[in-house]
Amino acid sequence: MGSSEIEVVTLGSKSQQQNPTGDLPAITDVFSACVYGDLRQLRSFVEHGGASVSLPDGNGYYPLQWASLNSFVDVVQYIIEHGGDVNAADHMRQTALHWAAVRGSIAVADLLLQNGARIEAADVNGYRGLHVAAQYGQTAFLNHIIANYGADYNALDNEGRSPLHWAAYKGFTDTIRLLLFRDACQNRQDNKGCTPLHWAVMRENIEASTLLVHAGTKEELFLKDSAGFTPLQLASDKGHRQLALFLSKATQTHSNRVDKMIRGKLGDKGYAPILFCLIVVLMVLFIISVITAPDFPKVTATVGLWAWIGLTLGFCSLIMLYRCSSKDPGYVKRADELNGHQDANDPLMSIDLNSLSWTGTWSQLCPTCKIIRPVRSKHCPTCKRCVEQFDHHCPWISNCVGKRNKRDFLVFVLMGALTSSVGGSIALQRIWTGIPSVRAGESWIHHIAFKHPGVIVFLFFDSVIFMAATTLTILQTYQVARNITTNEMSNKRRYSYLRGQDGRFHNPYNHGCRRNCSDFFVHGYTMDDEVARSPTQL
């Protein structure tokens, strides 16, 4: 890269923001009263001592800045009422709004802006309040001034960096998600040619990079900085192996013509038709090579009954495969599907923050679908939709497994395990009973391999299906009993709602094995609204 790390704004000295000794603060003047929020002492200095709230201290910082930094709304109000200038700037040209953005004080920002503070005020580096909020990860503050005061979320500082550049560099994924949700420009290059993805890669912010790639147009994967590096080349140059591997896969997916052609031909069908045809072929092979093979002994009534059961299970498996592939897995409606229930121009501020549908968790924002999704849902980059109670995307059913089709998926893999076990058992029984017919001097393995190759092919694919289906059945049954998804099991460290107060793993949706299973098999899913506390998802 052509530049060193971005310098983060520094506002004032630590010694003035807090008392290092932990003792009661010494209030000696207007400034210390504002630092510690002592309104009574501030009144005394102003009304009895004749002190001014419009003059800076020895370092050039104003009382209004200190009160704004420490979120003392009553002190801010008092200073404004007694002549404090809301647009007074220090030697860095930072105003009280810049300082309020550091701690994300929305109430202070409202007071300042309602009394004439300039939302577009920039300091010597070109930082506006939005840039400072992005630098410190103050997502709620950022959203508030955008939604209520029209702050330009694509504003650039002197180096050509937007708030999205800063959030990506600092790794604040909630802030990134909000800015992308509001259509912040993701491909903008700063004066060094760097996009937000370049800055996320430079700091090895894996989650931020993943979010930017999934929500982007993929054009940013190929943009080069002034040194000629793409994000992938930058990750390799910095030795960020995990990030380089992810970017390499993403780049290949969108640059490989063969892959595009395959995906174009398969379309939304994926591998489901292949699995469907495989099951049909195995059923036919079972009939021809196992049941009606001329060199095997005559089919008994017991073998015939089990063969009929196996074929019936196979036919039912085909039906369940079709249901799993075609059924809505629990897609969350997008903004254009909400029939006016959500204001597309201001999707966040139209939500009742006290309602169950919105708990103020920024990770519930989907920058791709432009919706506020329920907790436990996830955006599937393959289906390009958000899915409630997202479990995983299964390429073999060409669909996600989620709230609406997980029960069907469990039945499907269970039937697959039963079908393969019955078919394999009958095939082995037919081979065993056919051993006496092997000619002298000929091994039975040689006899089966050359006289009945269809049985060998059937057993091979049948065993593969049996192992896969049995593993999935056990795993899905275990997760149903604990009311947890595959996605949550794999990423439980990322989700704070899966951690208790002691920091250990705790699933608030687990109502006990009996309740979990009964709800799942009766309704097809569990009711998340019954969780007592409001979860917060990172």
Residues annotated as catalytic are 394
Q: How far apart are CA 434 and CA 470, in angstroms?
A: 28
Which tokens go with 482? Answer: 């604990």
Instruction: Give the CA dihedral 268, 273, 275, 278, nearest 10 degrees.
Output: -160
Alpha carbon 27 to its chain centroid, in Å, reads 47
Cβ atoms 509, 537 nearer than 8 A: no
**Helix, strand, or coil (residue 205):** coil
Q: How far apart are CA 317 and CA 423, in angstroms?
A: 13
Residue (of 14, 60, 19) closest to 38 by Cα position: 19
Residue (of 393, 398, 426) closest to 269 by Cα position: 398
Q: How far apart are CA 147 and CA 130, in angstroms?
A: 12
* Most distant CA atoms of the chain, gap in Å: 119
List 366's β-bridge partners, or say none: 371
Q: How far apart are CA 34 and CA 29, in angstroms?
A: 9
What per-residue string of b and e applies to 406-421 under the rule 16 or more CB within 10 Å gives b?
bbbbbbbbbbbbbbbb
